Structure 1
Amino acid sequence: MTQPQMDWDDAYRQDTPPPWSIGAPQPELARLVEQGKVRGEVLDSGCGHAALSLALAERGYTVVGLDASATAVAAAAATAAERGLTTASFAQADMTDFGGYDGRFGTVMDSGLLHALPIDGRQAYVRAIHRAAAPGAGLFILAFATRPFGGAVPGPTGFTADELRETVATCWTVDDVRPATLYGNDTPAAGGPASLPGVERDGAGHIMMPGFLLSAHKETVG
């Protein structure tokens, strides 16, 4: 959950976690897991520190976390090893152009990656995860709404509900797009979203930002 074309490795080398690395799965995605919506082997797309991957592995899922940052991937793998989670594996990848997983995953989960990609790379990404998905696979994307931080703060180019649907529908069959909330660490920095007046907080150290949760599936033929 951050702005495009940044140095991802640098973000993960800092003494404090990046704002989007909240130490637990995003609540919107955690609810999907609790509801039994996740099936088969899982791709955690843009896994970062991989709180989602680790939580899934703890529940017995086999999960692969891919991320552009070698630093994040190394940290995720180390945490999995420390916890004895042998069903979670991690690799560095260009998320707009990766291979080696064709038709493999029963579920693809995106916890704030799509909105962080440069606009001209989004279709390549949608195609790449479609290629990696098995026929009938489910897709869940949690993404920022348009201008989630307001007009005064730089940030990712988010979506309207229709824009998100249209972006994904080039490859996938979209089942639903609904309003959702994304959480970030409440660590005010000069000019950052947490420093804005009136920003919503959950009382547990997080700021809350508007977004959408998209649900889709890959057709079983074609």
Structure 2
Amino acid sequence: MTQPSMDWDATYRQEAPPPWSIGQPQPELAALIDQGKIRSDVLDSGCGHAELSLALAARGYTVVGLDTSATAIEAAAAAAAERGLTTATFAQADVANFRGYDSRFSTILDSGLFHALPRGSHQDYVQSIFRAAAPGARLYILAFAAGAVGDDDPDRPGSRGYTDTELRDAVATLWHVDEIRPANLYGNEGALEFMGPAFADAERDGEGHFLTPGFLLSAHKPDQ
């Protein structure tokens, strides 16, 4: 049975930003940008407030951000307009199963979406981003590791982590997986009091963030 999805719009309507909105790209993905590993056009899949999209657009990349939440998309578009970033566009979509971008993107970035998808929808998602990818496109997925978010209960709503084998097997149905390595996901330290006992002992970086263990998966779409 597919897990009921979260009410993401309600999450983004709250006065305080959600834990994953840290006002900048996730450091693991920012490093990829600095290393020159991103090529336009870029899909920011599950963009949320879209600091990743905005950072890429500020460097001249053409980016499309997709998210389930209309509230998040509205905020992202407003931020792009305020900053004068014309190469970032945003659209509300069923991120688990979307169409309309066939073979467009040379890079697909997933900054914490995969682990938040409703259970049972992952293969639809893998197929959707594969369809949207150009031949030879690169895929980067940043996702929680198993046990990182107190996800022992299979019926618990919300995000769950994955082992490296689970993550690899899910993506490798269509993509060629090049690497999976340990990585950290950053969240707002101010949100910890609302996040439950699983985060009580989370590592802090001293700059207002807590760290959650995860994986960074790198893959590519075969040229043929």
TM-score (norm 1): 0.94
CA deviations over 1:45-85 (Å, ceiling 9, x no partner): 00000000000000000000000000000000000000000
Please tell me the root mean square deviation across aligned C-alpha atoms, in Å. Answer: 1.7
Query: In the alignment, what sits opposite 2:218?
Result: 215
Residues 16-165 of structure 1 mapped to structure 2, 5 A cutoff: 16-150=16-150, 156-165=159-168
Query: 2: CA distance between counterparts of 1:82 and 1:218?
Result: 35
Query: In the alignment, what sits opposite 2:205?
Result: 202
Specify whether residues 191 and 132 from structure 1 end up closer, same or farther in structure 2 by C-alpha distance, changes over 3 A only. Answer: closer
Contact preservation (8 Å) 1:149, 1:193: no
Query: In the alignment, what sits opposite 2:5?
Result: 5
Query: 2: CA distance between counterparts of 1:214 and 1:161?
Result: 9
Specify whether residues 195 and 131 from structure 1 end up closer, same or farther in structure 2 by C-alpha distance, changes over 3 A only. Answer: closer
Q: Give percent identity, aligned residues only.
A: 66
The one-letter code matched in structure 2 to 1:14 is: Q
* Consecutive unaligned residues in structure 1, runs of 5 or more: none
Query: In the alignment, what sits opposite 2:14?
Result: 14
Query: 2: CA distance between counterparts of 1:85 and 1:115?
Result: 29
Specify whether residues 76 and 151 from structure 1 end up closer, same or farther in structure 2 by C-alpha distance, changes over 3 A only. Answer: closer
* Consecutive unaligned residues in structure 2, runs of 5 or more: none
Specify whether residues 151 and 131 from structure 1 end up closer, same or farther in structure 2 by C-alpha distance, changes over 3 A only. Answer: closer
Structure 1 residue 6: Cα displacement: 1.2
Query: 2: CA distance between counterparts of 1:108 and 1:37?
Result: 11
Structure 1 residue 211: Cα displacement: 0.1
The one-letter code matched in structure 1 to 2:196 is: G
Query: 1: CA distance between counterparts of 2:207 and 2:100?
Result: 40
Query: 1: CA distance between counterparts of 2:122 and 2:5?
Result: 13
TM-score (norm 2): 0.93
Moved >3 Å (runs of 4+): 150-155
CA deviations over 1:164-208 (Å, ceiling 9, x no partner): 000000010000000000001112334526861x22000111110
Query: In the alignment, what sits opposite 2:193?
Result: 189
Query: 1: CA distance between counterparts of 2:199 and 2:95?
Result: 31
Structure 1 residue 158: Cα displacement: 1.0
Aligned residue for 1:108, secondary structure, equals: strand
